Chains A and B, each alone.
Chain A
């Protein structure tokens, strides 16, 4: 993947209104692997007693990251949409810490892209959540 393509993909993802509104930052995108950061924010809180962010916010960043991974796959899909996404929540994210998600698009057929992803906070040895998903493959560019 050339650096201009990375630029385009990065701009595309940063142009997603919801991702921008949540403050997502795409820090790495190459050959089917994407890294996106979600900084902690009070509006993401799901448990007001502890300040732990809502699972739905983790879903939003996982979905974006998986889609970005598909778009950056060397097979050059022209577009993609989520078919199915499963998220396993292993533990509560530590309040105040940035969530980092890394998604890998590990297989692409003519019609379907297969992706897995992991979400971490500062303790990267113990993931907060993992995801597996399938995505559509729209016309190749």
Chain B
């Protein structure tokens, strides 16, 4: 009988894959977005920064920052879910230097943001749910909150064009 993999090996593989997906994108780095991983569940984190302010009088997060944060969370979560099997099987190994070029990511077709409250000048969080991921198209819903998980400050739905499968 095959023994289960040591937990450090599993964690290292998954974290390397997530780092590979997120750290290569300059715009994600510019906004300062990171991802917290629990098993296969991802939470996007947007640490507050003065450069993210849209209304200096309130002050409030820029609506464009909110949209970008939700879109980044949607794309990374969608990529993560469709790459998951390849990451787990080792077909995609981000730990090997330069061995695996970054896979093609889904492309946004449309994205609709529903602004529910103004974004406060503090950290924001987001989680996405892939409602449907077909061979060509995917539909993703994403929710953003700050202090209370139940009081969303924004939510969004987007449609994405999936990259061609490499098989």
Q: Which residues of A contact B (CB under 8 A)?
A: 15-19, 21, 42-49, 53-57, 59-64, 67, 81-89, 92
Residue on B with the closest CB to A17? B53
Asked whether A18 lies within 8 Å of B65 as measured between CB atoms, the reply is yes
Chain A residues with CB below 8 A from B64, complex form: 18, 56-57, 59-64
Asked whether B54 lies within 8 Å of A18 as measured between CB atoms, the reply is yes
Asked whether A83 lies within 8 Å of B115 as measured between CB atoms, the reply is yes
**26 residue pairs bridging A and B, Cβ less than 8 Å apart:** A17-B52, A17-B56, A18-B51, A19-B54, A43-B30, A44-B26, A44-B30, A45-B27, A46-B27, A48-B26, A54-B27, A54-B68, A54-B71, A55-B71, A56-B68, A59-B113, A60-B67, A62-B64, A63-B67, A67-B63, A83-B115, A84-B115, A85-B67, A85-B112, A86-B111, A87-B112
Among residues 55 to 110 in chain B, which have CB atoms less than 8 Å away from a CB atom of chain A? 55-56, 62-65, 67-69, 71-72, 101-102, 105, 107-110
Asked whether A82 lies within 8 Å of B63 as measured between CB atoms, the reply is yes
Contact of B25 (CB < 8 Å), options: A21, A54, A63: A54
Docked complex Cα distance between A61 and B64 (Å): 7
Contact of A21 (CB < 8 Å), options: B24, B51, B101, B111: B51
Docked complex Cα distance between A47 and B31 (Å): 15
Docked complex Cα distance between A80 and B100 (Å): 47
Asked if B114 CB lies within 8 Å of chain A CBs, one says yes
Docked complex Cα distance between A63 and B111 (Å): 13
Q: Add 11 more A-B contacts to A56-B69, A81-B55 (CB < 8 A).
A: A16-B56, A17-B54, A18-B65, A43-B30, A46-B26, A46-B27, A54-B72, A64-B54, A82-B63, A83-B115, A89-B108
Q: Which residues of B contact A (CB under 8 A)?
A: 24-31, 50-56, 62-65, 67-69, 71-72, 101-102, 105, 107-115, 118
**Chain B contact residues: helix, strand, loop or mixed:** mixed
Tell whether A59 pairs with B67 under 8 Å between CB atoms, given A16-B62, A48-B24.
Answer: yes
Residue on A with the closest CB to B105? A47
Chain B residues with CB below 8 A from A47, complex form: 25, 105
Residue on B with the closest CB to A136? B115
Residue on B with the closest CB to A16? B54
Chain A residues with CB below 8 A from B101, complex form: 49
Contact of B110 (CB < 8 Å), options: A19, A44, A45, A89: A89
Of A16, A46, A53, most B-chain CB atoms within 10 Å: A46
